Amino acid sequence: MVETGIPKLDEILGGGIPKGKSLVYYSQPGVEGEVFGMQTVYNTLKSGGNCVFVVSSTIPDIMKGLFKEYGWEIDEYKDRLFLVDAYNPLIGAPSNEKYIVSNPDCIESFNKIITDLIKELPPSTIVFGSLSTIMDLCGEKETIEAVRNWNKMAMLYNHVLVYNFTVWPYTNETLDIIKDDLFNAVISIGSIAERVIFGQYFGILKADWAKETRTSMLFRVLRPGGIKLFIPKILVTGPFDAGKSTFVHALSTQAISVDRLGTTIAMDHGHVDYKGFSADIFGTPGQERFDPIIKLLSGESMGVFLVVDSTNPADFVRAKHMLEITKSYGLPYVVVANKQDMPGALTLDEIREQFNLPGDVPVVPAVAKDKLGVFEAFEVLINKITGGT
């Protein structure tokens, strides 16, 4: 398997892309689709594999700069990375690359380079930076036939082929062939705007080797960092003094609180980057007068942390009420049993019994002030949100 470098995508694909298979990133105009292929290039190199990157929409030096912009140093892998320059000859500029497409507006010129590489190299990951650029230069039918041939050869020689494709106004016949017939896997990439959530998403339209398809995930592109799965809003709620602010700050790479006289009077706001996920988290005050904030945020959230003080069961009635507000929106939730290091802390089973929680609701032990259990709780909730295990 060749991993794409995007953890959830690789998980859904059953570990990545099998040798001999082809995959296309099918991107709507205006979204950041090219980074998907770039991230697959970098992950292949980092994992010890060989990689070919066909540069057709800009000069190779600019492409190398883009890799650095995402924090991916590719110079150290130059003995295993082969750039195919299909741009400099188009503008009449000299090229420093070993592999050059002499006539980028002629599909036969592409065909010669690609077929030679497929035959000469050991099993590698071959990534096309912009298949749509090749199609614009060489024609739709001509490019489709060439791609069909490359995919067949890659299967014979045990390569993995990955294409970035932007859905410009091509004929319906061309788009149908690309989506339904030409590739083993199609990953759709687009944008979404609904209520306060705005972002980009990818979805698996098909993957003929994977059990699960038709799954979509929001993502954002970080510089540096590349593609991170994006959870727009996670709610952190719980009674007064349960440790919500401490939990938000322990979990976040950056966080702010609005405090007065030592307690939160508005909300905490934090941002998390962890194991390929990027999430914004919002903590609510614990007092009843702020319940409208909980209702407002719950309606726009994708999951909930209920933080409770394990040493103070007297506040569990209030915690149950806060949980009921969020449950009315059908949100996945995790109970964070904070202050587990304190004398008199209830066990997880005791807390589960007090709340009468179903067996599938996780209760995670934590000592938020020491950052213990906070990332474990995050992983558990993310799995519930994304349908993981």
**Structural domain includes residue 106:** yes
Query: How far apart are the C-alpha atoms of 104 and 90, rounded to whole Å?
Result: 6
**Cis peptide bond prior to 224, omega within 30° of 0:** yes
CB-CB contact of 235 with 204 (8 Å): no
On whether both 64 and 161 belong to a single domain, the answer is yes
Domain that holds residue 240: 231-386
Beta bridge partners of residue 200, listed in sequence order: 191, 219
Does the residue 332 lie in any domain? yes
Q: Residues 199, 63: one domain?
A: yes
In this structure, are residues 60 and 82 in contact, taking their beta carbons and an 8 Å threshold?
no
Cα separations in angstroms, 172 against 142, 144, 175: 16, 13, 5
Residues 212 and 246 grouped into a single domain: no
* Alpha-carbon gap, residue 316 to 377, rounded angstroms: 19
Question: Do 273 and 157 sit in the same domain of this protein?
Answer: no
Are 346 and 382 contained in the same domain?
yes
Residue after which a domain boundary falls, among 177, 195, 224: 224
The confidence score (pLDDT) of residue 260 equals: 41
**pLDDT recorded at residue 321:** 86
- Give the Cα separation of 235 and 282 in Å (integer): 5
Q: How far apart are CA 336 and CA 373, in angstroms?
A: 8
Q: Can you give the pLDDT at residue 115? A: 96
CB neighbour burial string for 50-83, b if at least 16 within 10 angstroms, e if fewer:
bbbbbbbbbbbeebbeebeebebebeebeeebbb
Let me know whether 37 and 162 are in one domain: yes
The domain that holds 324 is classified in CATH as 3.40.50.300
248 and 324 share one domain? yes
137 lies in the same domain as 75:
yes
Question: Which tokens sit at 157?
Answer: 């020689």
Give the total number of structural domains in the chain. Answer: 2
Q: Is residue 1 part of a domain?
A: no
286 and 198 fall within a common domain: no
Are the beta carbons of 165 and 132 closer than 8 angstroms? yes
Domain closes at, from 192, 224, 256: 224
Phi, psi of 228 (to 5 degrees): -125, 135
**pLDDT tens, residue order, the chain (389 aa):** 999 998 888 988 999 999 999 999 999 887 878 899 999 999 999 999 999 999 999 999 999 999 999 999 999 998 999 999 999 999 999 999 999 999 999 999 999 999 999 999 999 999 999 999 999 999 999 999 999 999 999 999 999 999 999 999 999 999 999 999 999 999 999 875 544 445 677 888 889 998 765 566 778 788 888 888 888 788 888 888 899 989 999 998 765 555 443 444 446 788 888 888 888 888 876 666 556 666 666 666 788 999 999 999 999 998 998 888 777 667 889 999 999 999 999 999 999 999 998 888 899 999 999 999 999 999 999 888 876 54
Domain boundary among 164, 191, 224: 224
pTM higher than 0.85, yes or no? no
Quick one: pLDDT at residue 114? Answer: 96
Give domain status of residue 252, yes or no: yes
Quote the pLDDT of residue 263. Answer: 45
Q: How many CB atoms lie within 10 A of CB 187?
A: 24
CA angle at 47 for the pair 45 and 50, rounded to the nearest 5°: 40
* 168 and 276 belong to one structural domain: no
Side chain identity at 257, as an amino acid letter? S
